[in-house]
């Protein structure tokens, strides 16, 4: 039979780890003539049946395709919208109801039955966006990411969720108005536990039904692209939900997880680790990645918890695990990540693969050919932790801890970094960014404005978590919306106005982003003056006479006649002063024009002086430079 031959061929590729779009045949697929086809991988099962509300939840037995481990059935009874699961009898004879690993929609929680859905038929309108994306070089473009947890950005008055459609109407214009270039969504894959924030996933091909239908989600992506906003989504290939009716021991034996229970059991996160060396698991996970990119037009995936996939001893109780070479590297995990990035970039060279990796593993963003993992970017968690620790400190003691800022200069070009102030740093008692800042309310805002300016001036792409843009005081709570009532306060309003202004400066000034990963893009004009607790550096554009001067004062004492060394004499102008009254500062009259003469300073042939605001920062650019 032709169908069986076709499925046998596809099953062979799946079983050899080379079926990278296995969502095209595994799972449930509706055909034009009303026929529903179900296929599921359960290699050690004694029997498998499909059950659903279309057969009164009675077994409709499936047949295994030529000993491939994949079970198949076709029926005319299942209709769009029907619920279903697979009844799997394991080698021990026990019958368990299991989810469809390839389901593209699940019923609303607390249920977890899959829903019979039609093929994706979305009519896309983002051709211009995708065309520009293919022609662009992301490393040389601005990237200022707004990180969002959909369930708590906004809610209705009765505390019910917004829908994807409502987010399209409100979130997209908001992000556009504030000048961000990308939205990064914390996981939108189906998950039963709200408190997991989506990182304990049930469905690897299904958008969560909390916010509406798959089509509504696709419309959201489409509208982001029409607004020239990219979309990145967090994706979790290292571990899966602990629920016994999900992937765990799917066929009655370890199927998606490691055979060794010690390796399979992720005690720290209460999850099961995928067996990343298993060919079928590679087919499954890489297919999931390509599904979100191919079918949902995502611009990138942020791969969560990469360190858990790189090291055998990352979890508690695994300190003695070693590989065949006697060290702690997870060789299967490393090879999987390399394969994942190679396949994704072969299919979509313009898609961003971003690693959330917390160790000093070398070569995360190096090419696989050069021995690296092949990611496009890595979150710089070391920079984030050190910067936050510095700014949380009483300014009186900052001069003794300047290494918290300067240490990043040592390794800033080791990887292609994204600088994140992420959700993990504003939850579980860590306080919001605003609340971390020392001093009274005025000084907290002054510190926050200075830190955000430092973020946007420092080499690397940027990410900030929602609520930080106006200085929300309460730390993030996943069970309620952001404190939008804050915006009735003039200081919060001015902080939000500052965010828009600094984001616009970042976007418009090429030196702030076009050489993020080139040493030539950074000139260290005054980065070792810990005694005065000030810092100055220059972000250099590709054109030699195009640059931005950044100067920072990390103490609440104004610095008169503060000298800044620059490459050229000539005229300069102010881009932003964080102490501008418009932003909540105290300066009612700004110094906006500066003239550099040929007075050498800090290794630069010219210099000019400014009044450096207390607990503030300045960004300045040249307007008319002299020759030489």
Structural domains of the chain, ranges and CATH numbers in brackets: 2-115 (2.60.40.10), 519-625 (2.60.40.1180)
Identify whether 110 is preceded by a cis peptide bond (ω within 30 of 0): yes
Backbone angles phi, psi at 257, to 5 degrees: -100, 170
Q: What is the pLDDT at residue 242?
A: 95
Query: How do residues 507-534 score in pLDDT, each as one tens digit?
Result: 999 999 999 999 999 999 888 888 999 9
Q: What is the pLDDT at residue 316?
A: 87
pLDDT band for position 2 (cuts 50, 70, 90): very low
Q: What is the pLDDT at residue 239?
A: 97
Q: Which residues pair with 86 in a beta bridge?
A: 50, 98
Q: What is the pLDDT at residue 336?
A: 98
Mean pLDDT, rounded, for 416-427: 97
pLDDT band for position 395 (cuts 50, 70, 90): very high
- List Cβ<8 Å contacts ≥24 apart for 539-544: 539/457, 539/459, 539/509, 539/511, 539/512, 539/515, 540/511, 540/515, 541/510, 541/511, 541/514, 541/515, 542/510, 542/514, 542/515
Question: Roughly how many angstroms between the first and final C-alpha of the chain, as a whole number?
Answer: 79
Please say if 304 is a catalytic residue: yes
Indicate the average pLDDT of the chain.
96
Task: Give all strands (DSSP E) within 57-209, no chain letters.
Answer: 60-61, 63-64, 70-75, 83-89, 95-98, 114-115, 144-148, 182-185
Instruction: Assign 515 to helix, strand or coil.
Output: coil
Helix or strand run (H / E) with residue 239? strand 239-240
Active-site entry in 234, 299, 356, 579 = 356
Residue 494: partners with Cβ closer than 8 Å, 6 or more residues away: 445, 582, 583, 584
Rg, the chain, Cα only: 27
In the 8-state DSSP scheme, what is residue 592?
-
158, pLDDT greater than 80: yes
Backbone angles phi, psi at 560, to 5 degrees: -80, 150
215, pLDDT greater than 90: yes
Contact predicate 273/258, CB 8 Å: yes
Q: What is the pLDDT at residue 167?
A: 98
Mean pLDDT, rounded, for 199-219: 96
178, pLDDT greater than 50: yes
Q: Which residues pair with 97 in a beta bridge?
A: 87
Helix or strand run (H / E) with residue 302? strand 300-303
pTM of the model: 0.97
Active-site entry in 112, 234, 304, 415 = 304
Contact predicate 426/560, CB 8 Å: no
Tokens in use for 290?
């390509």
pLDDT band for position 3 (cuts 50, 70, 90): very low
Q: What is the pLDDT at residue 628?
A: 65
């Amino acid at each position: 039979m032709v169908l069986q031959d076709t499925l046998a061929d596809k099953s062979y590729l799946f079983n050899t780890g080379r079926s990278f779009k296995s969502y095209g045949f595994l799972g449930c697929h509706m055909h034009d003539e009303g026929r529903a086809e179900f296929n599921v991988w359960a290699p050690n099962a004694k029997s498998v049946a499909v059950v659903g509300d279309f057969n009164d939840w009675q077994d409709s037995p499936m047949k295994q395709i030529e000993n491939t481990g994949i079970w198949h059935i076709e029926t005319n009874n299942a209709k769009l919208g029907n619920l279903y699961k697979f009844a799997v009898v394991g080698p021990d004879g026990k019958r368990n109801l299991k989810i469809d690993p390839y389901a593209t929609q699940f019923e609303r929680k607390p249920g977890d039955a899959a829903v019979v859905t039609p093929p994706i038929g979305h009519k896309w309108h983002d051709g211009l966006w995708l065309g520009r994306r293919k022609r662009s070089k992301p490393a040389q473009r601005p990237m200022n990411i707004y990180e969002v947890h959909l369930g708590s950005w906004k809610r209705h008055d009765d505390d019910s969720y917004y829908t994807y459609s409502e987010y399209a109407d409100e979130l997209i214009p908001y992000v556009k108005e504030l000048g961000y270039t990308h939205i990064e969504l914390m996981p939108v894959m189906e998950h039963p536990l709200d408190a997991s924030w989506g990182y304990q996933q049930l469905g690897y091909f299904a958008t969560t039904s909390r916010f509406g239908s798959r089509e509504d989600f696709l419309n959201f992506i489409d509208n982001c692209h029409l607004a020239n906003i990219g979309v990145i989504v967090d994706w979790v290939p290292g571990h899966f939900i602990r629920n016994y009716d999900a992937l765990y021991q799917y066929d009655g034996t370890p199927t998606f997880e490691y055979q060794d229970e010690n390796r399979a059991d992720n005690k720290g996160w209460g999850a099961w680790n995928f067996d990343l060396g298993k060919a079928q698991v590679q087919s499954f996970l890489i297919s999931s990645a390509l599904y979100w990119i191919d079918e949902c037009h995502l611009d990138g995936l942020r791969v969560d918890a990469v360190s858990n996939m790189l090291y055998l001893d990352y979890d508690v109780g695994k300190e003695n695990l070693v590989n065949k070479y006697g060290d702690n590297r997870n060789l299967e995990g490393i090879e999987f990540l390399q394969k994942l990035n190679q396949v994704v970039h072969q299919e979509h060279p313009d898609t961003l693969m971003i690693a959330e990796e917390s160790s000093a593993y070398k070569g995360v963003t190096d090419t696989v050919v050069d021995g690296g993992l092949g990611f496009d970017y890595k979150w710089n968690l070391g920079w984030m932790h050190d910067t936050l620790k510095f700014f949380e400190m009483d300014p009186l003691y900052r001069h003794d801890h300047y290494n918290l800022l300067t240490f990043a200069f040592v390794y800033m070009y080791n990887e292609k970094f994204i600088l994140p102030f992420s959700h993990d740093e504003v939850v579980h008692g860590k306080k919001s960014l605003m609340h971390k800042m020392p001093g009274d309310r005025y000084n907290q805002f002054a510190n926050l404005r200075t830190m955000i300016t430092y973020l946007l001036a420092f080499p690397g792409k940027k990410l900030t978590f929602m609520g930080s843009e106006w200085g929300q005081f309460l730390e993030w709570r996943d069970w309620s919306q952001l404190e939008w009532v804050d915006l009735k306060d003039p200081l919060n309003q001015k902080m939000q106005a500052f965010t828009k202004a600094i984001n616009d400066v970042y976007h418009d000034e090429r030196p702030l982003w076009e050489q993020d990963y080139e040493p030539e893009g950074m000139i260290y004009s005054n980065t070792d003056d810990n005694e005065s607790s000030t810092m100055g550096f220059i972000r250099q554009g590709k054109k030699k006479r195009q640059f931005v001067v950044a100067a920072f004062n990390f103490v609440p004492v104004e610095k008169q006649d503060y000298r800044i060394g620059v490459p050229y004499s000539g005229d300069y102008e102010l881009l932003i002063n964080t102490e501008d009254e418009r932003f909540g500062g105290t300066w009612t009259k700004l110094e906006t024009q500066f003239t550099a003469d040929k007075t050498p300073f800090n290794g630069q042939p010219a210099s000019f002086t400014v009044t450096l605001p207390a607990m503030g920062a300045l960004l300045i650019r040249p307007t008319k430079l002299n020759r030489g």
